[in-house]
Amino acid sequence: MNGAGGGQKSVKALAMEGLWTNNPIFGQVLGICSTLAVTNMVMNTLVMCAALVVTLSMSSLSISLLRSWTPRNIRMMIETLIIAFYVIMVDIALKAYWPEMSQNLGPYVGLIITNCIVMGRAEACANTQPPLTALVDGFFNGLGYSFMLLLVAIPRELLGMGTIMGFAAPYFSGPHWDKWIIMVMPPGAFFMLALAVWLFRSIQGPQQKEGAK
Amino acid sequence: MTEKPAIKFRTRRSFPVLYMFAVTFVATGILIGLSRSTAGRVEANKQILFERAVLSALGVDAGQRPSPANIHQTFLAQVKSPTESTAGAYRLVRDGATAAYALPFAGRGFWNEIRGVMGISPDGSVLTGVAFYEQSETPGLGAEIVKPAFTEQFRNLKLAGGSSALGLKPAGTKTSASEVDAITGATQTCTRLEDILNDALGAWRREMGLHESGGAAAPDGSGEDG
């Protein structure tokens, strides 16, 4: 649907696409796995989003730089390799300089390698577009993913634990609020994600249909 | 990388293989270098996490918001490494006498290994504390075991005799002094943790010959399950 499109797109157009019209979560519906997994604590979500933005931007840039050299038949191997390269870098950096967070996120950082958004952007954009376009596209797709994740994470932590980023929130941490433990458990992620996707798709509904036709 | 080979070279059948090899070589080379250069730091971080857990389990205060260096110095100054006679436990030495033991334990949690340290009074009847230094339980649920709200319950917890020295019970249902509140929504983690702690405590007390001791009088005969 997107991809090789003719001339270079402006930064504004790319931002609009990544954040809104073609948002990775509710537009392309990619990367849902990690959306469900890391969104019960806002702090973990933030670090995960930062890691994804870095990985996505850098791997898109690198794949785009190598695009005219890479033989088509092995391009996916190269893409996976480059993605894994950046993910392991992030993982090493966290282990060395932020061990607590590295422990909190457990295996999730490593699993960015299998996050479909990264591979999706590599195939849809970085493969055919010049480096700068690919970098900007990766960055805004990362941000589009991030804002949706935060939107899912904030209510989950607030309703489930009565805190935001570990700080007690007024009312919700008090005795009048019976914590909805289910919000921090896996089912809570499905509820929140479905609501968020529903909401955003309803808002942008009409344009989406036109695009599809 | 810098030379510009003729297009012919890129259409050769061996080119994809060579290309893949070259890219892999460069990428892994950089990663190995990076991992080597931070290996010392990563190792030190792990050591500090462990030492912090030992100090915390023993209830030793390393100062307000201790730096890694502070933790390490306090650990070296007050804690002695395990010997044959301590059955694998570290010793907190105060005025030449053993003030408490710190026993490392490990076992399978819900997702992965849980590793921690528990502090035990010299006669094996009271816990001075429990601290964890490695776990990958579910964030927000099982992972809450590392929070003070949970671990502080083990501070000066009187242990029962026998093989189930302590219990993790659903909040509000504890009946004896050796029980603490489990975490709601983390039943699996808590059941397993209860076993891990009791197994480690039981084995250690047997080896130390402290089997029968305990805050509550052990029931007649052996407290072990049949």
What residue ranges do the domains of chain B occupy? Answer: 45-208
The residue-averaged pLDDT of A16-20 equals: 84
pLDDT digits (tens, 9 = 90+) for A48-100: 899 999 999 999 999 999 998 888 889 999 999 999 999 999 999 998 998 87
The residue-averaged pLDDT of A201-205 equals: 83
Name the residue facing A69 among B19, B34, B185 (closest C-beta).
B19
Counting other chains too, the contacts that A153-159 makes at CB distance below 8 Å and 24 or more residues apart are: A153/A38, A153/A39, A153/A40, A153/A41, A153/A42, A153/A45, A154/A42, A155/A183, A155/A192, A156/A39, A156/A40, A156/A183, A156/A184, A156/A188, A156/A189, A156/A192, A157/A40, A157/A41, A157/A42, A157/A183, A157/A184, A157/B140, A159/A183, A159/A188
Whether B16 sits inside 8 A of A74 (CB atoms) is yes
Q: Is the pLDDT of residue B79 over 70?
A: yes
pTM for the structure as a whole: 0.76
Band (B137; pLDDT cuts 50, 70, 90)? confident
B9 touches chain A (CB under 8 A): no
Q: Range with the lowest mean pLDDT among B5-9, B47-51, B77-81, B174-178?
A: B5-9
In order, the DSSP letters of B95-135 are TTEEEEEEEEEEEE-SSSEEEEEEEE-TTSSEEEEEEEEE-
The residue-averaged pLDDT of B191-207 equals: 92
Q: How far is A9 from chain B (nearest CA, A)?
A: 29
**Whole-number percent of chain B with pLDDT over 90:** 44
B143 touches chain A (CB under 8 A): yes
Q: Where are the domains of chain A?
A: 11-204
Whether B141 sits inside 8 A of A184 (CB atoms) is yes
User: Which residues fall within 8 angstroms of residue B64, CB to CB, at 6 or more apart?
Assistant: none
Band (A114; pLDDT cuts 50, 70, 90)? confident
Whether B185 sits inside 8 A of A99 (CB atoms) is no
Q: How far is A175 from chain B (nearest CA, A)?
A: 16
For chain A, give me the number of helices (H) and strands (E)? 9, 2
Q: How far is A112 from chain B (nearest CA, A)?
A: 17
Whether A78 sits inside 8 A of B23 (CB atoms) is yes
B22 to chain A: closest CA residue: A78
A95, A100, A109, best to mutate vs chain B, most B CBs in 10 Å: A95
Whether A70 sits inside 8 A of B19 (CB atoms) is yes
pLDDT digits (tens, 9 = 90+) for A154-187: 999 999 888 888 888 888 888 888 888 888 888 8
ipTM of the prediction: 0.77
Band (B68; pLDDT cuts 50, 70, 90)? confident
